[in-house]
Amino acid sequence: MAYKTIYPYTNETLKEYPNASDADLEQALATGHQLYQQWRQEKPESRSKILQNIADLMQKKRDDLARAMTYDMGKLLTEAQGEVDLCIWIAQYYAEHGAELLQPVPLKTKLGDAYYLKQATGVIVAVEPWNFPLYQVMRVLAPNIMVGNPMILKSASICPMSVQMFADLVAESGAPAGTLTNLFINYDQVATAIADPRVAGVCLTGSERAGTSIAATAGQNLKKSTLELGGNDAFIVLDDANWDELQKVVPQARLFNAGQVCTSSKRFIVMDSMYDQFLEMLKTAFSQVKMGDPMAETTTLAPLSSKSAKEKLQAQVDTAVAAGAKVYYGNEPVDLPGQFFQPTILTDISHDNPIFNQELFGPVASVYRVQNEAEAIQLANDSSYGLGGTVFSSDLQHAEKVAAQVETGMSFINAGWSSTPDMPFGGIKNSGYGRELSDLGIDAFVNQHLVLKP
């Protein structure tokens, strides 16, 4: 597995990184386990300063980190800067609230007073993707620092520059050796790490295929795992949706990060009375994007992350059209050297179309016409995925009732996807299991140790 930074805007290979050896992995496991033994003797409060130092240094190096992410996978520099800001927020949140979230939980039982402790369990292996190179890492690193679980990171092979820069920053901040060890390893080495008795669990954000493999390895070794996999999120537009607000939300709900977001809205389910108007609104928005240099403030749509990502998305669109889907807008070549994909709108997608139950990871919107609310809910739930979703309506109470009927892990009323440190993140069905962020995220890899006082 080659770890390379290939700038998607110019197709230039900027740097290649050497793979980690088995000896490197053993050293990381030994260092991490030694730190776990130290941390389990200390109170969580002692680690708040580690996170605050990381946050402070990220603030100082904000632009460098952002540029590295743009070089790695092509995202707009402004979006990369926002990602760094979110990472800082997550670190600060757990620095401030982590110790409180890890307090013993009292219980009343028939046998007497009891409580359970929230204790560290050991080294955690994190397998993280390229679409948010730093945010995905911080989501699991920050809570586990507070818990006292050191982390070994295997990042996606296309974003080594930003991830290594972040790992170096963690070390520079004064965090003990083993807090975060970034290794450019392959999946066989990941399996070796998971099987090691010094490893307590594994978290993965990635594809269904990767999740199935990691979960199987974790299960074989009786290790806890959390998975955040793909999504095919439904965006339900009810008859009474506020049109002005809708126009503000919809384009970014699909085009943010060039559409390469697990939780971006991918299936727009629109009532018949608004369908034609909705299509025209979406077409207008898509036609007004400016593709170009992702470092430039005037650019509004970045290239896709890689040549293979572009080829896969194009193959999916071609398959959809061959099976009867209609191209309402887009699907034309882009006369730029980078891995750009023209925003595309697909309609008339039948249930037997191969892409009906596929995630389209890029700026492609699938739009469905429905006659009533029941049909909208049924269509939203007719998916093997269940990560997020949106309901748009002027009646907030009614929107909540509709959202509660959608089989998904997260629902947003009159808004696209968003993430904050104090809201849990995760899905159901083939979108994975477990939660990250908030109090649920900090509990993901703790030993809930019961103590009874008769």
Residue numbers annotated as active site: 228
Signed CA dihedral, 256, 257, 259, 262: sign only:
negative
Which single residue is written with the structure tokens 């992410």? 69
Q: Please tell me what DSSP assigns to residue 371.
A: S
Q: Please tell me what DSSP assigns to residue 177.
A: T
DSSP per residue over 275-333, as a string? HHHHHHHHHHHHHT--BS-TTSTT--BPPPS-HHHHHHHHHHHHHHHHTT-EEEE----
Which single residue is written with the structure tokens 């430039």? 296
Contacts of 50 (CB under 8 A, 6+ apart): 145, 173, 174, 175, 176, 179
3-state helix, strand, coil in the chain (%, to 5): 45, 20, 35
Selection from 363, 227, 299, 288 nearest residue 80 by Cα: 299
Planar angle of CA 351, 357, 363, nearest 5 degrees: 110
